[in-house]
Amino acid sequence: MARVAMPLAQDFEDSEFTVPFDRLRNAGVDVVVIGRKGGEIVTGKRGQARATIDHAASGLNPDDFDAVVIPGGYSPDHLRLADDVVAFVRDFFAAGKPVAAVCHGPQLLIEAEVVRGRTLTSWPSIRKDLINAGAKWVDREVVVDGTLITSRKPADLDAFCDEILARLRGAEQRHSRAAG
């Protein structure tokens, strides 16, 4: 079974957490919510969703996960100040595994210094931040650049989740062929 880390903090965009979380869980993926402090309860900015942080990012090993999915809202901006979360994302990206971010999620990728030379999309208000960090920004529903998957907004979540699930299925097939 695939295992996915979802970095989360207060004021996340409700649907950008709940839709991928539910789609991944319904597909049999083990989704682990990570953040600054295990046991902390965080609430979406619209007040429609709550989540409990399963584990603090400090001490987590990227080798124990198959992908990272970063919801948007104000959560990524809060997490930019959490050195352990930023280090986890940076180390995970360096491991060459799928990293997915939607809406304002790429703010965390900017802080982790992994966007230079990459093509991404995001919510339009962080377009200039991405360009200034060395990324090429495009306005598309889903953008895939190597192991990096990005989307713009809640309306793109179906395509975003489809791409994440396709990547996870592809990784599982490679693992089963290698084991067989």
pLDDT at 172: 59
Contacts of 81 (CB under 8 A, 6+ apart): none
Tell me the pLDDT tens digit for each residue of 39-66: 999 999 999 999 999 999 998 999 999 9
pLDDT at 170: 76
pTM, whole model, 2 decimals? 0.94
Chain center to CA of 33: 11
* Total count of domains within the chain: 1
CATH of the domain at 130: 3.40.50.880
Tell me the pLDDT tens digit for each residue of 125-166: 999 999 999 999 999 999 999 999 999 999 999 999 999 999
As annotated, the active-site residues are 103
Task: Tell me which residue range forms the domain holding 16.
Answer: 3-179
Sheet with 67-70, side-by-side order of all strands: 55-56, 30-35, 3-7, 67-70, 99-102, 148-151, 142-145
Pairing of strands 55-56, 67-70: unpaired
Secondary structure of residue 140 in the 3-state scheme: coil
